[in-house]
């Protein structure tokens, strides 16, 4: 095709600039919704610019112009052919009360698997300590746990009123960031077909089981509960949820019984993974505060009964929240339940 470039540019420039203006506006404000008239105009401009690009493709001249039109069409293509649900404006309360617990329940079988792996680790760790107390050196990598539980309890119960004064806030910050990193790694390891996630959950379980067995066998069960329950009742479920997220990735990577492609399987779970890991991070922020400000203080500063009761109540509230919250909304949106399946064009069906 032979085209008069100067005439072509002067005639078409208005359409290009109008399309660019609409795209700029949409990109600046993702929540903006076009009305029907605007949609018609947008679609018309997209097709017109696409046609201009085809005309230019047949000539070698104006490489920069072609690159400009290509970028316009590429941007418009992304807007027009995007079939996934638009990101909603952030509604924290709705997210907390409905979206997060519903997402947890949607993939609850992965949570049970995560729990089962951790329990298996606990049984192994506890059994190892019961059968061979010397294995403590190997199973517990933390120096402060290697001594005798009785001696530790005696020491903790005789320290002053506020022995962590001036260290609590940084302690809380360390717990939050360290545990969040571990949780993200637990989730991310799902990409190794879940092997990495399972290893991390198992390791956590082994350490937890070993510590518990060590304290129970030394007759320090009450101290153990008072020490672990206040923060552990949130921290351990958070790690289990991170494991759940990791196993969701593993499920998408492996794709048993799912005939859609790997890309679409992964695409279908991406938003849910972000929801779960955000929830995990929030849980760990809370657990970090409790661990620094409550868990590390023992009798006589805080009676064990009070700490145990606090931990139990927290665990009950968390269980009720994750199992019940947003259920009515979930029934209302019954069509969304279950892992999304996607057709080859990326549209959720």
d(CA 322, CA 64): 55
d(CA 211, CA 331): 42
Give 56's contacts (C-beta < 8 A, 6+ positions apart). Answer: 3, 62, 65, 66, 69
What does the block give as tokens for 121? 């680790």
Residue with tokens 């390791």: 203
| 349 is a contact residue toward other proteins (CB under 8 A) | no
Segment interacting with other proteins (CB under 8 A) among 165-173, 215-223, 300-308, 329-337: 165-173
CA nearest to 309, candidates 238, 230, 221, 209: 230
| 91 is a contact residue toward other proteins (CB under 8 A) | no
d(CA 68, CA 75): 11
DSSP 15-53: HHHHHHHHHHHHHH-TT----HHHHHHHHHHHHHHHHHH
Q: How far is the CB of 268 from other proteins (least distance, A)?
A: 10
> In terms of C-beta density within 10 A (0-12 exposed, 13-18 middle, 19 or more buried), how is residue 330 classed?
middle
Q: Which is nearer to other proteins, 81 or 91 (CB)?
A: 81
State which of positions 243-302 bind other proteins (CB under 8 A): 249, 263, 266-267, 270-271, 273-274, 277
CA nearest to 199, candidates 305, 322, 117, 298: 117
Give the chain's radius of gyration (CA, Å).
Answer: 28
Q: Which is nearer to other proteins, 211 or 340 (CB)?
A: 340
Q: How far is the CB of 172 from other proteins (least distance, A)?
A: 7
Q: Which is nearer to other proteins, 238 or 273 (CB)?
A: 273
Residues 110 and 244 sit within 8 Å (Cβ to Cβ): yes
Q: How far is the CB of 104 from other proteins (least distance, A)?
A: 17
What does the block give as tokens for 107? 């993939």
CA nearest to 86, candidates 96, 95, 78, 94: 78
Q: How far is the CB of 229 from other proteins (least distance, A)?
A: 24
Among positions 20, 41, 70, 156, the unique one binding other proteins when judged by CB under 8 A: 70
Among positions 21, 24, 39, 77, the unique one binding other proteins when judged by CB under 8 A: 77
Among positions 21, 31, 39, 67, the unique one binding other proteins when judged by CB under 8 A: 67
Residues 277 and 214 sit within 8 Å (Cβ to Cβ): no
Number of residues forming the site for other proteins (CB under 8 A): 54
Q: Which is nearer to other proteins, 127 or 346 (CB)?
A: 346
| 9 is a contact residue toward other proteins (CB under 8 A) | no
Q: Which is nearer to other proteins, 111 or 175 (CB)?
A: 175
Among positions 15, 59, 218, 329, the unique one binding other proteins when judged by CB under 8 A: 59
The residues of the shown chain that bind other proteins, judged by CB under 8 A, are: 1-2, 27, 47, 50, 53-54, 58-61, 63-64, 67, 70, 73-74, 77-79, 81-82, 84, 87, 166-170, 172-174, 176-177, 180-181, 184-185, 187-189, 191-192, 196, 249, 263, 266-267, 270-271, 273-274, 277, 346
């Amino acid at each position: 095709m032979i085209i008069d470039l100067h005439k072509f540019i002067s005639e078409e420039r208005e359409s290009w600039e109008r399309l660019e203006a609409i795209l700029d506006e949409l990109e600046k404000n993702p929540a903006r919704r076009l009305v029907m008239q605007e949609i018609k105009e947008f679609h018309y401009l997209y097709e017109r610019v696409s046609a201009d690009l085809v005309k230019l493709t047949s000539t070698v001249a104006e490489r920069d112009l072609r690159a400009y039109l290509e970028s316009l069409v590429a941007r418009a293509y992304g807007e027009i052919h995007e079939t996934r649900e638009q990101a909603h404006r952030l509604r924290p309360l709705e997210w907390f009360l409905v979206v997060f617990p519903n997402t947890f329940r949607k993939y609850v079988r992965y949570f049970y698997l995560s729990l089962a792996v951790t329990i298996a680790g606990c049984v192994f760790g506890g059994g190892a300590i019961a059968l061979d107390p010397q294995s403590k050196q190997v199973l517990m990598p933390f120096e402060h746990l290697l001594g005798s539980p009785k001696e530790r309890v005696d020491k903790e119960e005789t320290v002053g009123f506020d022995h962590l004064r001036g260290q609590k806030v940084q302690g809380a910050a360390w717990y939050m960031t360290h545990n969040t990193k571990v949780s993200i790694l637990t989730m991310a390891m799902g990409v190794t077909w879940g092997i990495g996630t399972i290893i991390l959950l198992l390791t956590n379980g082994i350490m937890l089981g070993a510590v518990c067995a060590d304290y129970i066998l030394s007759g320090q069960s009450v101290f153990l509960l008072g020490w672990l329950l206040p923060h552990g009742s949130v921290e351990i479920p958070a790690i289990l949820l991170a494991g759940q997220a990791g196993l969701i990735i593993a499920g998408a990577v492996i794709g048993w019984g799912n005939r859609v492609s790997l890309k679409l399987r992964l695409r279908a779970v991406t938003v849910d993974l972000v929801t779960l890991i955000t929830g995990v991070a929030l849980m760990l922020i809370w657990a970090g505060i409790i661990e620094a400000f409550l868990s590390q203080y023992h009798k006589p500063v805080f009676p064990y009964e009070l700490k145990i009761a606090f931990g139990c109540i927290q665990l009950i509230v968390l269980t009720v929240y994750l199992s019940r919250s947003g259920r009515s909304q979930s029934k209302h949106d019954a069509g969304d339940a279950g892992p999304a399946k996607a057709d080859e064009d990326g549209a959720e069906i």
